[in-house]
Chain A
Amino acid sequence: NAGVMQNPRHLVRRRGQEARLRCSPMKGHSHVYWYRQLPEEGLKFMVYLQKENIIDESGMPKERFSAEFPKEGPSILRIQQVVRGDSAAYFCASSPFGGALSEQYFGPGTRLTVT
């Protein structure tokens, strides 16, 4: 059973461009969490999605950021008009059931660099 897959692993964007980060959850998992890790900091929750639904986006910046998890295909975190402060590692985690006792399995992350 393949683990959580994220692509690309590294992404370089110029200020003002768009960044699209993809996350394929583990087989059978329908719950996805996105976290952001700034340099030398812990991970910060961004958004929690189930198939076709955004359940909790309380950690998402109000502007430029959006996420989706369509019925078919990977979950996508989209950042429009990137700025240097968006440079970070973005991790997704998938879970079979959601909730506190359902283990979250993390992908290897996408490292975004904004120049």
Chain B
Amino acid sequence: QQQVKQSPQSLIVQKGGISIINCAYENTAFDYFPWYQQFPGKGPALLIAIRPDVSEKKEGRFTISFNKSAKQFSLHIMDSQPGDSATYFCAASMDGTSYGKLTFGQGTILTVHP
């Protein structure tokens, strides 16, 4: 099963709040889990990524939490800012004969109110 399921579909938070987006996957062969940020009219841009040998990775206000046994991972945005308003995609990929092609979640539209 190649699907990656993402929730919620949309999220509204106040400035300074915490935004949490969740993803679940089925294929245990996935070994790379990136998050992408996309602004309207632009292509996705890599935000942060994690491999399954660690449970958490933090870069500035962005943190990925990874639960290998539950096959779930999530993005936490601390101190959310209006400039964070965008669509966020989780993704998964694997090496070998999959050549690193990305399987994306459905996306979450984040709106941060000032």
Per-residue CB proximity of A17-39 to B under 8 Å, as 1/0?
Answer: 00000000000000001010000
Question: B108 CB to closest chain A CB, in angstroms?
Answer: 10
Q: A91-B44, A101-B32 are in contact. Are A45 and B103 (CB under 8 A)?
A: yes
Total residues of chain B contacting the partner, CB 8 A: 27
From A35, A98, A100, B32 is in contact (CB under 8 Å) with: A100
- Please tell me if the beta carbons of A48 and B43 are within 8 angstroms of each other in the complex: no
- Mark the stretch among B54-62, B77-85, B87-95 that contacts chain A: B87-95
Contact indicator per residue, chain B 30-66, by CB within 8 Å of chain A (1) or not (0): 0110101000011111100100000000000000000
Query: Do residues A109 and B43 form an inter-chain contact, with CB atoms below 8 A?
Result: yes
Residues of chain A lying within 8 A (CB to CB) of residue B100: 48, 95, 98-102, 104
Closest to B109 in A: A40
| B3 CB to nearest A CB, Å | 10
B95 touches A35 (CB 8 A): no
A-B contact count (CB 8 A): 68
For B32, list chain A residues within 8 Å (CB).
Answer: 100-101
**A42 and B45 form a contact (CB under 8 A):** no
* B99 in complex: contacting residue of A35, A41, A56, A105, CB < 8 Å: A56
Produce 1/0 per residue, B3-15, CB < 8 A to A. 0001000000000
Whether, in the assembled complex, A74 has its beta carbon less than 8 Å from a beta carbon of chain B, the answer is no
Assembly CA distance A45 to B94 (angstroms): 13
Whether A42 lies near B107 (C-beta < 8 A) is: yes
Indicate with 1 or 0, residue by residue over A29-65, a CB within 8 angstroms of chain B CB atoms: 0000101000011111100100000011001000000
Residues of A within 8 A of B (CB): 4, 33, 35, 40-45, 48, 55-56, 59, 91, 93, 95, 98-109
9 interchain pairs (CB within 8 A)?
A4-B43, A33-B102, A45-B101, A59-B101, A95-B100, A99-B95, A103-B46, A103-B49, A106-B44
4 residue pairs, one from A and one from B, having the closest CB atoms:
A106-B43, A42-B104, A100-B32, A100-B100
